[in-house]
Amino acid sequence: MSAALEHFVNNVRTQSASGNFRELADSCNQTALVLAKNTNYLDNVLETLDFQQHSLGVLYVLVAKFNNLTGTPEEADSIISLVREFISICNGEQIRFSPQTFGELCHLFTDYLVKHQIPCIQGIPILAQAIDKIRLFDTQLTAIHADLCQLSFCAKVFTPVLKFLDTDITAIASTEDSNHDAKYFLLYYYYGGMIYTAVHNYERALYFFEVAVSTPALAMSHIMLESYKKFLLVSLILHGKIMPIPKYSSQVITRFMKPLSHAYHELANAYATASSEETRNIINKYRETYRNDNNLGLVQQVARSLCKKNIQRLTKTFLTLSLADVASRVQLSGPAEAEEYILNMIKSGEIFASINQKDGMVVFKDDPEKYDSPDMFLKVQDDMARVMELNKQIIKMEEEIMLNLLYVKKSIGNQDEDLISGHSKSFVGDPSE
């Protein structure tokens, strides 16, 4: 082991024993280059440090270790085991003195699994535990949330991440690198939106894509552009039209995103005609564009949602209708496809109807829910409790803003400007009057 590495180890032990974690984090940042140049000896360094007592030092060693990995099966097992052990027993108080480096470790770990096509499911419980280690409370968003969502989406395993996504965010953990903070903020809402789309929770997916699109920005981000395209598609599936973007959104959307999403706006225009044939023509016209954007599957769901909405329109006009008539009016291939659509919609509660198999007739019915059952009463109570809790959070956040020093200074400055402008206006005019 070189003298520089020995000095690093001694410094980590001394500073950790003294509880000088701020100074230790600063010195580790300065010696990161030394660790990167001595990757062959990092295993020896790890053997001399305790994962719990010297968590900050071990953190920097593990980050440096990722710079010399090749992706062999033996190496993969070793690094996954190391990261799992470290995150499991590391001292949360220590690593919070260097949240950016802890986040970098999780980013490198995620990239390593994805790049070398190692089963991403192995990393999901590790990153879930990492989030619990670094965040101060459940509603705080960290940069690691985006990594967890990425692994979950790649592995097509959504249940472990849904408990994180279902928690509404009230605070964001920031680091010294604001550019990376913004990147992983956008990635969290982008991957979260795709996960909700995959589990058919379109309302929540639309919200996540909306947050990504409406984030204040001076330049267009590729993440925002892809979120915008999916926002358009999910809007059509959920509401049958493009929902308006919040007014506080950046001008980047109208200036750049809309022209770059021409194929999706064409699809929306065809959807608005309620013609399945015209919608299919647009899909065939821009099929390669949708495929290159990895949105072809979602576009096909848009086409199916139009057929469903057209069937729902029939329920408002007719009481009974033959399957052949349904197929003709909705522009389906035949009675068999119409029956399949109707059965699926009955099962999902999108319509209320019954099919007479003998004569092939569909009888449309009213919603049987009378809103007087105990289950419905409990649901209303839960919804009211959720709204009241949300109101408490809004009041608390408003109080924090009102007491924020920067906000107070800006408010006083604006008031002074108003007084000066008002005072000067009173003297505008002919001085002789």
The closest of 91, 202, 212, 109 to 151, measured between CA atoms, is 109
CB atoms within 10 A of CB 428: 6
Q: Cβ(303)–Cβ(280) under 8 Å?
A: yes
pLDDT higher than 50, residue 119? yes
Specify whether the backbone of 428 is left (phi greater than 0), alpha (psi in -120 to 50) or beta.
Answer: beta
pLDDT digits (tens, 9 = 90+) for 124-151: 999 999 999 999 999 999 999 999 999 9
For residue range 306-343, what is the model confidence (pLDDT) as tens digits?
999 999 999 988 999 999 999 999 999 899 999 999 99
Residue 430 predicted with pLDDT over 60: no
Asked if residue 237 lies in contact with residue 308, where contact means CB atoms within 8 angstroms, the answer is no
Share above pLDDT 70 across residues of the chain, in percent, rounded to a whole number: 95
Phi-psi label, residue 227: left if phi above 0, alpha if psi -120 to 50, beta otherwise: alpha
Give residue 406's pLDDT: 85
List, for residues 248-272, the tens digit of each pLDDT value.
Answer: 888 877 788 889 999 999 999 999 9
Q: With contact defined as beta carbons under 8 Å apart, do 24 and 97 qualify? A: yes
- Residue 138 has a pLDDT of 92
pLDDT digits (tens, 9 = 90+) for 171-206: 898 877 777 789 999 999 999 999 999 999 999 999
The helix/strand/coil state of 140 is strand
pTM: 0.87
CA 85, CA 68: separation in Å to the nearest integer? 20
Residue 281 has pLDDT above 90, yes or no: yes
pLDDT in tens, 18-55: 999 999 999 988 888 888 888 888 888 999 999 999 99
* Mean pLDDT on 396-425: 74
Q: Which amino acid is at 322?
A: S
Query: What are the strands, taking DSSP E only, across 24-181?
Result: 140-141, 171-172
Q: Characterize 171-195 residue by residue with b for buried, 16 or more Cβ atoms within 10 angstroms of its Cβ, and e for exposed.
A: eebebeeeeebebbbbbbbbbbbbb
Q: How far apart are CA 148 and CA 90, in angstroms?
A: 19
Q: What average pLDDT does range 115-132 have in this prediction? A: 94
Amino acid at 306: L
Q: How confident is the model at residue 427 (pLDDT cuts 50, 70, 90)?
A: very low
Strand partners, 354: 363
Cα 210 from Cα 19, distance rounded (Å): 44
Average pLDDT over residues 391-398: 89
pLDDT of residue 352 exceeding 60: yes
Other residues' Cβ atoms within 10 Å of the Cβ of residue 356: 12
Per-residue pLDDT band at 417 (split at 50, 70, 90): low
